[in-house]
Structure 1
Amino acid sequence: MPQKLWLPNRRLIEVYNYYRLLLSLSLAIAVTELISTDIVGGRSPELYQTTSYIYLFCALVLTAVLMVLRKVYIWQIITAISIDITFLTILMYASGGIQSGLGNLVIIAVACGNIITTGRFGILLAAIATIATLYMEFYLQLQHSASASGYVRAGLQGLMYFGTSLLIQNITKRIDESESLAKKRAKEIINLEQLNKMIIQRMRTGIIVCSENGTIHLVNEAAKELMPAGDPSSQTFYSSEQLPPLIHQYLSDWRLGLKHQFATYTSLGGHSEVRCSFARLTSHSNEILIFLEDASKLKREAQQLKLASLGRLTASIAHEIRNPLGAISHAAQLLQESEGLDKADLKLSNIIQSHCLRVNRIIENVLQLSRRKVEASDTINLSSWLPVLSQTIKEENKDCEITLTIHQDITAQFVASQLEQVVSNLVNNGLRYSKQNTNKSTIELATDIDKHSGLPYLDVIDDGPGITEAEPHKVFEPFYTTDSTSGTGLGLFISRELCELNQANLEYIKHPNKGSQFRITFVHPEKII
């Protein structure tokens, strides 16, 4: 089966066809009255004229045929160039032989053939040209008794053909190798660029590349989720070409050296605190890299330090507090068993006993919080997990009513036991306050995806009296409670600490129609904690 040419050589074939056409036209015009010269056709003008016209006609035919063909084979190229060599050799004979200088045109034909073809096919063209030249010189000797030195010139001309062939092949080989290497490198660069883009897009750290005036060149999905809250441009950031005003202001301050490199703000939706840092792409570059990082990791590290300090403190004083507390509680129990105790003293002893139990619960809660360790998070499907928890709570509170509103198949990253403790605490608080306000223990659990941040959340809504405007910032403080008779003021504090330990956020939201609404906003389901 004939060897096919590679696609890049198709362009070379077209270029050579145009060269052949221009050359044959020039050689045909050279014997007209417009250009009269003894260099061409000096020995046999009639033969030169006839051959040049036939060569022009063949050039037209070859150009048309090779341009029409979809697939061009090696043998077609060798045939076409062999025709060129044949006609040029005849024209060289008609002009007086090698000394006419037309042999240089044969060298060009051999060189072009070696550029288009490869290997042994190029050597074949050199051999055809050498044989044609030697035969032309031999025929010239027979017909005109030319000098015998013509054979030497013909031999040297043949060596030039072979030398040109080898030289062109070597150059072409190096060019092809360089081109192949360049294509390979270009492909590797493209693959690397695609890999970098994929990595950047999948990073949970927000990346923005912009110019010094705030024009955005690149932004990943995480950065779109960490835009500033309350910024109107953040809503249309997906199609915007400029930084949001707040980040642009931070960038201007950083460039002027007015502020520290790190700046913080609340993210879109108000679910997390974002740390914004800046760096130049290179030391002399005008492009600036902006990193938007969720500060939950730093919070978690601070949380661990806080828990460690709290653990050391509570471990050192718990034993000292529990000993006298146990003695007081025991004395109160003995006092209650006294037969001669009047009602006033019995009431006092009950107060002592209840407050001893309350202090003991406070110690237990603080010890529990201080012993908390970071555990591997679980992937929890809230759609199936919440009904099971609700059933458990209903078994503990026979008269309670729990309404579930599950909008989507929500998945959360959280330690299962810790999430159960947080939700149970919020539900029990809600049931207690709902009963105080409406005489019914009712609660609503709702899950959904935040449309701005794309993060899953769980709402716990009760029918209690709600929280006054002055209290929302206090409810998460330790030992703060609105129920001084049974509350310790540590339930919401511990719940928030557990949420932060799992990179989640617990916040109070004012409900327009009901009592209190507490929202747990979970970390992104695909983020590895």
Structure 2
Amino acid sequence: MSTFLWSRGEPATDWSPLDQFRRESSALLRLWRGFMTARCFVAVVLLLLQAVTFALGQPLQPVAIALSLGYLAAALLAARYALFQPPVRGFGTAWLSTIGVDLVTFTALQLLQIGSINYTPLFALPVLMGAVLGTGMVGLGTTAMVTLLLLVHAGWYWLQQPGDASPRFVQAALTGTGLFVVALLAHELARRLAREEALAQRNRSTAQMHALVNDLVIETLSEGVLVVDERGQVHAANPAADAILGQGLAGLALPFALSTYPAWAALAAIARQTFARRTPQSKEIPVAQAQGAPREVRVRTRLTPGTDRRTESLCVMFLQDLRELEARIRTEKLAAMGRMSAAVAHEIRNPLAAITQASALLSEDLVDPAHRQLTTMVQQNAQRLSRIVDEVLDVARARQQRVLPLGEQLALDSTVRTLAEEWVRHSQRQGVLLVLEAAGSVVRFDIEHLRRILVNLLDNAARYAGNRDGSIQVTTRRNVAGRASLQVWSDGAPLEPAVQRHLFEPFFSSESRSSGLGLFLCRELCERHGATIGYERRALSEGGPEGNEFFVSFAAGETRLTQ
């Protein structure tokens, strides 16, 4: 495709906003190519006319043939090499190489009147080109030149054949008047075309911008979105809807019928109800999952307004996982609890201090060993409760966690063995397997914090694991970089993706009776010691059953025990 530029011979003047757009108008460029094609076609017709007149017995006209061949060559060269960018603002190179050549050629043929052929209709081509592709001055100027040429031809004919030449002058004047009317109309239509194209371009840009923004908002929306028509066909869905519905929605080709999937039959019924009643609907329904128990989903529907009878309304369905909603509510509750934690801390610490002091004073006067043992138990549990209160308040205040000082150092394998055996005795759980492979590793961790982490992970594992031997495995390892880790593996069912995303968030739990603080506090305790905690679904050995594994990677830089 040819590239057209302004020629240096054209004047550089200020442009109006419409002319500025006409420079970039693709419609005018297409019209330019159309006019170039029309000029080539006219040149070919002129050559065919010479052949037809010769076939009808007229003598061969070498001058006419030469003019037609020259015009064909000029038309082809202009179509390929002419410099053009709309609008034509003057009588420069772009005008001379196209419209000027047309005027010269058609005038020469008209003056010669070879073969008694009237070439006056051909002048409509340069007039239209000037009116459509040029400014108003270029269009009217070209038309005025054509009118003058027609009047000159009438005068030339009168000089050659004296007599009554008024009909020719009248004919030339009427033809010129008609060409002026055509030029004005064509120029106005070209301006309107440019305005409409400019408006369409602005509207298209705005629509594209809005579409990009809408796509971004819908893609990142935490709520699932489905767009359903009156026939129950799904036309759009966002990633959140795929995560909530859990049936491979993202892999389906759009559009598809919602009612053909039994797990989504309730959604199809809500969509039909929305169209039937023409009002928004809101329901909470269970949605079956590919794996695991059904998920409680809140469904809200809205109808898009139909602009006219030809545009049908669409039902937009908003899906919300009720467990995520409850988790957000619990998080807000945690924030509210944090604001009152300072006052609660003083109220709890003071009675604990009084209990500890009273127990110590009481133990001084007791002689019976059984009574002294009871006071010792009171003191120990009061101190433990005080530490728990401090940790919960640390979480509520959301203080910036930091790595603790060097503090207590633990031999990992022996400590894990002691804590795990203590948990087994207390819970009377059978089938727990210990695999301790971090011999000599010492980690910097508070033993009470490690106890809370391990007990929490073992409690979670026991809740979902089977009863066979090895259904729960506690493992310690040391990687090639010398970093020790602790793993608690169980053969329970896989966790749902929505649960995995919120495992370590406060107050999020897949069970209604759980507070959802256990894993969150484990994460907080690990971060305070520079460790990390995570989850993955994997098999312990190749070909073995898959299970849920929670792992704790301890801070780098621990030492090894000397042998």
TM superposition score normalised by structure 1? 0.59
Query: CA, structure 1 residues 30+131, in 2 after alignment: closer, same or farther (shift >3 Å)?
Result: farther
Following TM superposition, by how much is the alpha carbon of 1:191 offset from its aligned partner in structure 2, in angstroms? 3.7
Aligned to 2:518: 492
**What letter corresponds to residue 192 of structure 2 in structure 1?**
R
Structure 1 counterpart SS, 2:318: strand
Aligned to 2:267: 251
Report Cα offsets for 1:181-201 as digits up to 9, x if no partner: 323332333343234323433
Aligned to 1:347: 370
**What letter corresponds to residue 180 of structure 1 in structure 2?**
A
**What letter corresponds to residue 291 of structure 1 in structure 2?**
F
Tell me how far apart the structure 1 counterparts of residues 539 and 59 of structure 2 sit (CA, whole Å): 108
**What letter corresponds to residue 157 of structure 2 in structure 1?**
L
The correspondence of residues 311-322 of structure 1 with structure 2, limited to 5 A, is none
Asked if 1:172 is matched to 2:195, the reply is no
Aligned to 1:464: none
Say whether the 8 Å CA contact 1:507–1:519 is kept in structure 2.
Answer: yes
Following TM superposition, by how much is the alpha carbon of 1:16 offset from its aligned partner in structure 2, in angstroms? 1.8
Say whether the 8 Å CA contact 1:134–1:155 is kept in structure 2.
Answer: yes
Asked if 1:279 is matched to 2:301, the reply is yes
The correspondence of residues 325-474 of structure 1 with structure 2, limited to 5 A, is 330-338=357-365, 341=367, 345-355=368-378, 357-358=380-381, 361-362=384-385, 365=388, 369=392, 373=396, 375=398, 394=409, 400=415, 425-427=452-454, 444-445=485-486
Aligned to 1:238: 251
Query: CA, structure 1 residues 173+261, in 2 after alignment: closer, same or farther (shift >3 Å)?
Result: same
Which of 204, 211, 216 pairs up with 1:198? 216
Aligned to 1:90: 111
Query: CA, structure 1 residues 33+374, in 2 after alignment: closer, same or farther (shift >3 Å)?
Result: farther
Structure 1 counterpart SS, 2:365: coil
Say whether the 8 Å CA contact 1:27–1:52 is kept in structure 2.
Answer: no
Q: How well do the aligned residues superpose, as a CA RMSD in angstroms?
A: 6.1
Asked if 1:300 is matched to 2:328, the reply is yes
Query: CA, structure 1 residues 57+404, in 2 after alignment: closer, same or farther (shift >3 Å)?
Result: farther
Asked if 1:17 is matched to 2:32, the reply is no
Which of 85, 98, 102 pairs up with 1:77? 98
Query: CA, structure 1 residues 53+165, in 2 after alignment: closer, same or farther (shift >3 Å)?
Result: same
Say whether the 8 Å CA contact 2:356–2:378 is kept in structure 1.
Answer: no
Following TM superposition, by how much is the alpha carbon of 1:136 offset from its aligned partner in structure 2, in angstroms? 0.9
Following TM superposition, by how much is the alpha carbon of 1:71 offset from its aligned partner in structure 2, in angstroms? 5.8
| Range with greater deviation from structure 2 (196-205 or 171-180) | 196-205
Say whether the 8 Å CA contact 1:274–1:292 is kept in structure 2.
Answer: no
Structure 2 counterpart SS, 1:337: helix
Aligned to 2:237: 219
Say whether the 8 Å CA contact 2:536–2:549 is kept in structure 1.
Answer: yes
Aligned to 1:184: 202
Tell me how far apart the structure 2 counterparts of residues 391 and 475 of structure 1 sit (CA, whole Å): 39
Say whether the 8 Å CA contact 2:227–2:237 is kept in structure 1.
Answer: yes
Asked if 1:131 is matched to 2:113, the reply is no
**What letter corresponds to residue 122 of structure 1 in structure 2?**
G
Tell me how far apart the structure 2 counterparts of residues 311 and 125 of structure 1 sit (CA, whole Å): 84
Structure 2 counterpart SS, 1:137: helix
Say whether the 8 Å CA contact 1:475–1:492 is kept in structure 2.
Answer: no
Structure 2: tracts of 5 or more residues without a match: 1-6, 11-22, 85-93, 275-280, 307-311, 418-434, 438-447, 462-469, 478-484, 489-494, 526-532, 553-563
Say whether the 8 Å CA contact 1:28–1:52 is kept in structure 2.
Answer: yes
| Range with greater deviation from structure 2 (354-363 or 265-274) | 265-274
Asked if 1:147 is matched to 2:170, the reply is no
Say whether the 8 Å CA contact 1:130–1:157 is kept in structure 2.
Answer: yes
Aligned to 2:558: none
Say whether the 8 Å CA contact 1:263–1:276 is kept in structure 2.
Answer: yes
**What letter corresponds to residue 400 of structure 1 in structure 2?**
T
Say whether the 8 Å CA contact 1:201–1:220 is kept in structure 2.
Answer: yes
TM superposition score normalised by structure 2? 0.56
Query: Percent of aligned positions with the same letter in both sequences?
Result: 17
Following TM superposition, by how much is the alpha carbon of 1:134 offset from its aligned partner in structure 2, in angstroms? 1.9
Query: CA, structure 1 residues 249+309, in 2 after alignment: closer, same or farther (shift >3 Å)?
Result: farther
Following TM superposition, by how much is the alpha carbon of 1:153 offset from its aligned partner in structure 2, in angstroms? 5.0
**What letter corresponds to residue 139 of structure 1 in structure 2?**
W
Following TM superposition, by how much is the alpha carbon of 1:135 offset from its aligned partner in structure 2, in angstroms? 1.4
Tell me how far apart the structure 2 counterparts of residues 62 and 310 of structure 1 sit (CA, whole Å): 86
Tell me how far apart the structure 1 counterparts of residues 521 and 305 of structure 2 sit (CA, whole Å): 46
Report Cα offsets for 1:272-329 as digits up to 9, x if no partner: 9774534345145454333344553542324544885899899899959975x77665
The number of aligned residues is 440
Query: CA, structure 1 residues 373+145, in 2 after alignment: closer, same or farther (shift >3 Å)?
Result: farther
Structure 2 counterpart SS, 1:146: coil
Say whether the 8 Å CA contact 1:206–1:226 is kept in structure 2.
Answer: yes
Say whether the 8 Å CA contact 1:457–1:520 is kept in structure 2.
Answer: no
Say whether the 8 Å CA contact 2:232–2:268 is kept in structure 1.
Answer: no
Aligned to 1:106: 123
Tell me how far apart the structure 1 counterparts of residues 240 and 38 of structure 2 sit (CA, whole Å): 55
| Range with greater deviation from structure 2 (217-226 or 356-365) | 356-365
Structure 2 counterpart SS, 1:80: helix
Report Cα offsets for 1:117-158 as digits up to 9, x if no partner: 445443443233123112111112212223363545544544
